[in-house]
Amino acid sequence: MKSVALFGYKRPETGKVSSKSLRNEGKVPCVLYGGTEHVHFSVYSPDFKILVYTPNTYKVQLDIDGKIYNAILQDVQFHPVNDTILHADFLEVDDSKPVEIGIPVKLIGNSIGVRQGGKLVVKSKKLRVRALPSELPDFIEVNIDNLEIGKSIKVADITGSGLNLLDSPNNPVVSVITTRAAQEAAKDEVKAPAAAAAAPAAAPAKKK
């Protein structure tokens, strides 16, 4: 999995008043846990763009006042009205200890159901996995070549990733649903033979 660098600054104090002051300065209050101690720090809000507003998942190299921490983003709290980031939680990671994180799903192939007029619906854009940091992939490939109309690929159907998938095995990842156009085409296919069978036979030609 790829990494991004993020620069933070230790917070001299914590609490609601301090957090509000940081947000007014365009910063996001953050906390790093999972190590020997919790580290309270702040990051400039625009610096979250590559980490939060993306379908990808990254490991984070946190530089907090010159000290480097390897981490992953665990949780982000957004303002309910304007979607600005209010707070972020990071987890310090150790290469010898597995972590749990959401990995993006990458669809490959060309669904037979879509070619027949169905509509592809992605149910899960990310799947939660448990693995060592060094074994985390950039994405999980899901082949949809054989996916038919009315069918789904579930978590249990994803094999060969070598990852411990944490989502329920019965959760659908991607489906192909029928569309009105596909329904009409199916009706026409049924009507055509019936209409041909019901058509009157041609009258025999009269002898001259």
Residue length, the chain? 208
What are the sequence ranges of the domains in the chain? 3-93, 100-191
What is the homologous superfamily of the domain 100-191 according to CATH? Answer: Ribosomal protein L25, C-terminal domain (2.170.120.20)
CA gap 89, 72 in Å, rounded:
9
Task: Assign a CATH topology to domain 3-93.
Answer: Ribosomal Protein L25; Chain P (2.40.240)
Report which residue type is found at 200.
P
> 44 near 5, Cβ under 8 Å?
no
Residue with tokens 């921490």: 69
The pLDDT of residue 75: 94
The pLDDT of residue 83: 86
| Per-residue pLDDT tens listing for the chain (208 residues) | 899 999 999 998 888 888 999 999 999 999 999 988 899 999 999 999 989 989 899 999 999 999 999 999 999 999 998 889 999 999 999 989 999 999 999 999 999 999 999 999 999 999 999 999 989 999 999 999 999 999 999 999 997 667 899 999 999 999 999 987 666 665 655 555 555 555 555 555 555 5
CA gap 127, 156 in Å, rounded:
12
State the Cα torsion 34-36-37-43 to the nearest 10°.
-60
